[in-house]
Structure 1
Amino acid sequence: MESLTAKPFRGSGRILGLAVAITVLLTGCEAQSDEAASMPPPPEVDVAEVVVEPVTLWESFTGRVASPETVDLRPRVSGYIDEVAFEEGELVKAGDLLFQIDPRPYEAQKQAASAELALANSQLDLARSEAGRARTLLESRAISREEYDQRNTALMSARARVQAAQAALDTAELNLQYTRVTAPVSGRTGRALVTQGNLANADQSLLTTVVSVDPVHVYFEADEQSAFSSQQLLANGQPRGVRISLGGEGGGQYKGELDFVDNHLNPGTGTLQYRAVLNNLDGLIKPGQFARVEMPVAELDQALLVSRKAVLTDQDRRFVYVVDEQNRVAPRQVTTGRQVDDLQVIREGLNHGDLVIINGVQKVFGAGMQVKPQLVAMKESARGEGAVVVAQELAQ
């Protein structure tokens, strides 16, 4: 008789294990899906392609503005000042009246000299007549040769007295002209050091100073290496233009031109002196003013340039962040050169076509991080304009 007890189903344990495994798998997938959904999107950064172009490298030097002509104005004749005919510190032209010395004593001297000349001329006429008669009398043997010679000597003396009287009159007229003290050069006056009613002594009393103001000179000194480099450019026929920055009232950027280079280096400082000429039509630039001069020292045919904002510093090394084709970030150590306006010359570390991060570097936390790049123009970004050239993601 068969037993009525039911036998256990052997496949139930397998089914239970399979159900548990499926449950665990579904739970893991759900967790991964939640984790992926919670990850932030790649940060947006501005990138720009390395610029390759010929550039001129400039070196900056300190200098001082100087006047091409500085005149200490002193009188050529002595006398009391009748008039100060200018406003202190004003611009004057060559020939403008600045001081008037009392002319009356010199007018009297001129009149006296004129009278002496008239007297000498009358004596000359008399001597000329007597010498003519003496020649006639000598031919008729009415006078001796000795008397004839005496009358000729008197004629020559009369001529000499006329010349002396004429010279005295010329001197008197010149002294009278010197009572008008005029500006010898066009420029700006200083303050009047001798005022109306005071005595001015010839060649001694300093009346005022006049400095020419247009153009002005800027003197500066370059170190030996920069001087050597700039001399090579000048020898090759490069333009002699320089850029000059000034502070104060006449501040701003100006363009000047080199017009003098000294013929030897200063042995004490190892520097070479240069001079640039600078137009100053409005007269605002003043002698003695501090200046910063930028002079070209090298020419690069194919320079690699990036925005200065792209170059980061870590202790003693400099680097940039480069974005590859997968939009992943990698730091790249670079060797920098001189600055050209808002761009930095890269001597080593980058290649033509590399994309470097310009803005958004603070969003990068490590190498290999993925970003969402926006392509911008390197030069506009360097100037802070941030103009987007291609407003699209680089990743396709």
Structure 2
Amino acid sequence: MRKTSKYRFPSRPAALTAGLLLLWPLAACDEKPKQAAAPAPPQVILAEVVQENVPIVMEYSGTVKSVKRVDIVPRVSGYIFERFFTEGTFVKEGDPLFLIDPRPYQETVNNFEANLAREKANLKFWEAEVGRYKRLAKSGAASKEKLDATVAKRDTTLADIDQNNARISNAKLDLSFTKIAAPFAGRIQQERIDVGNLVEKQRDILTTLVQMDPIYVVFNISRREVYRVQLLTRKGWAYPVEKMPVEIVLPDGTPYGTKGNLNFVSFVIDPTTDSLDARGVFANPRSSELGGFDLIPGQYVPVKVTVGEIPDALVIPQVALVETQAGKHVYVVGDDNKVESRKVEIGEDYDQKWVVTKGLKKGERIIVEGLQKVRPGIAVKPKAAGEAPAADS
């Protein structure tokens, strides 16, 4: 009887699996290791450091103020006879505003003119008498005393005529004062005393007239800013005061269409404000036939004064500047397209640009877009200005 062996050959599937496991290390040894692909240089947009003449602009808070503002008061007493204007409207120089009852003043003129006519008639009489007494005195028919008395009467009449002429002039002047006219063009405010009321000369205010064109904008220049202008003047960068253009911004944020001139700067610092008083003057024409004006007295407006100009300043876009705890710097791209972090010092800012006073040269290329993708020492792929960098994958 045959004995059965305890050893059993593996089944066919198990044998195949074992064979594959033996061959796998050999196959793996034949494969060459693959290197990781290097990342593409980040795309950035560059700008060149340029030279420009940079305006030096100082900003202030200003207040619009009328050039002229007068209270209209009567120069003669009397009853208000008539009012000719509409409250709140624009009037021209010489336009009638009020009429004080002229009748009493016309009567005074008439009386003085009548007196003058009487004195002129008396003068003719006394001149004839003087001639007659001269002839009589020459023939001895009249005394010299009588002739002298007649001459005195004539001379007194001449003096009376001169006095009446002066009285007539004054009376006519008072009569003219009954017609109250606008002393200059401007906007008339509300009537304060109604027609029919009695007013006294040089006391009662009838209304107020405000000149609107031209108009002032007043502001204060701090002592520190005064010193800054003095430094600019020493460098030859400051304009003469009368040539410093002044600009303002309207309440809706739009620039006022006309530039003004700086027509006054005080030479004494006010100790209460530690500043100088300054004033610009602007044209302020009516913006409509209804009498509207862009600038109104009492209105607050931002003021910009161009005090001078920095010649041939190095300028960079403000977006290129990076500020860290270590200071201000920009990323400079060399001819090999590698990035360098460059520390810079800046000065004036204008039109979304910085003036660079130290750290850069004209023509150097700096990164203005894609700053978050770079670090010093890496290579970058510059893109043309105006072309957005490609999105990161």
TM bin, normalised by shorter chain, reads: 0.7 to 0.9
C-alpha displacement of 1:181:
0.6
Show CA shifts across 1:20-61 (max 9, x none).
89546x1x22xx2xx317x4x433322100111222322223
Q: Please show how residues 145-294 of structure 1 align to structure 2 within 5 Å.
A: 145-222=144-221, 223=223, 224-229=226-231, 240-248=243-251, 252-253=255-256, 254-282=258-286, 283-294=293-304
Show CA shifts across 1:78-106 (max 9, x none).
12222221122222111001112222222
C-alpha displacement of 1:75:
0.7
> Partners in 1 of 2:232 and 2:331 — Cα distance?
34
Is the partner of 2:209 in helix, strand or coil? Answer: strand
Q: Do the aligned residues in 2 keep the contact of 1:375 with 1:392 (CA within 8 Å)? A: no
Aligned twin of 2:370 = 360
Aligned residues: 356
> Partners in 1 of 2:172 and 2:237 — Cα distance?
52
> Partners in 1 of 2:248 and 2:173 — Cα distance?
46
For 1:191, give the aligned amino acid: Q
> Partners in 2 of 1:316 and 1:157 — Cα distance?
101
After superposition, the Cα gap between the structure-2 partners of 1:68 and 1:229, relative to the gap in structure 1 and judged at 3 Å, is farther
Aligned twin of 1:8 = none
Is the partner of 1:36 in helix, strand or coil? Answer: coil
Q: Do the aligned residues in 2 keep the contact of 1:72 with 1:209 (CA within 8 Å)? A: yes
For 1:146, give the aligned amino acid: E
After superposition, the Cα gap between the structure-2 partners of 1:315 and 1:84, relative to the gap in structure 1 and judged at 3 Å, is farther
Q: CA RMSD in A?
A: 3.0
> Partners in 2 of 1:267 and 1:348 — Cα distance?
37
Q: Do the aligned residues in 2 keep the contact of 1:65 with 1:287 (CA within 8 Å)? A: yes
> Partners in 1 of 2:237 and 2:192 — Cα distance?
45
Q: Do the aligned residues in 2 keep the contact of 1:229 with 1:297 (CA within 8 Å)? A: no
Q: Please show how residues 54-93 of structure 1 align to structure 2 within 5 Å.
A: 54-93=53-92
After superposition, the Cα gap between the structure-2 partners of 1:110 and 1:230, relative to the gap in structure 1 and judged at 3 Å, is farther
Query: How high is the TM-score relative to the length of structure 1?
Result: 0.80
C-alpha displacement of 1:236:
7.0
Bigger mean CA deviation after superposition, 363-372 or 52-61: 363-372
Is the partner of 1:58 in helix, strand or coil? Answer: strand
> Partners in 2 of 1:198 and 1:252 — Cα distance?
47
Aligned twin of 2:339 = 329
> Partners in 2 of 1:65 and 1:311 — Cα distance?
37
C-alpha displacement of 1:251:
5.8
After superposition, the Cα gap between the structure-2 partners of 1:235 and 1:227, relative to the gap in structure 1 and judged at 3 Å, is closer
> Partners in 2 of 1:337 and 1:348 — Cα distance?
9
> Partners in 1 of 2:253 and 2:99 — Cα distance?
33
Aligned twin of 1:351 = 361
Show CA shifts across 1:114-169 (max 9, x none).
21221222222222222222222222222222221211111111111111212222
> Partners in 1 of 2:308 and 2:377 — Cα distance?
38
> Partners in 1 of 2:128 and 2:111 — Cα distance?
26
Indicate whether 1:312 and 2:317 are aligned.
Answer: no
> Partners in 2 of 1:119 and 1:276 — Cα distance?
60
> Partners in 1 of 2:46 and 2:338 — Cα distance?
12
> Partners in 2 of 1:136 and 1:293 — Cα distance?
87
> Partners in 2 of 1:230 and 1:221 — Cα distance?
19
Bigger mean CA deviation after superposition, 243-252 or 308-317: 243-252
C-alpha displacement of 1:19:
6.3
Structure 1 residues without counterparts, runs of 5 or longer: 1-15, 377-386
For 1:142, give the aligned amino acid: A
After superposition, the Cα gap between the structure-2 partners of 1:316 and 1:202, relative to the gap in structure 1 and judged at 3 Å, is farther
For 2:197, give the aligned amino acid: N
Q: Do the aligned residues in 1 keep the contact of 2:331 with 2:340 (CA within 8 Å)? A: yes
Aligned-residue sequence identity (percent) comes to: 34
Structure 2 residues without counterparts, runs of 5 or longer: 1-22, 287-292
Q: Please show how residues 10-21 of structure 1 align to structure 2 within 5 Å.
A: none
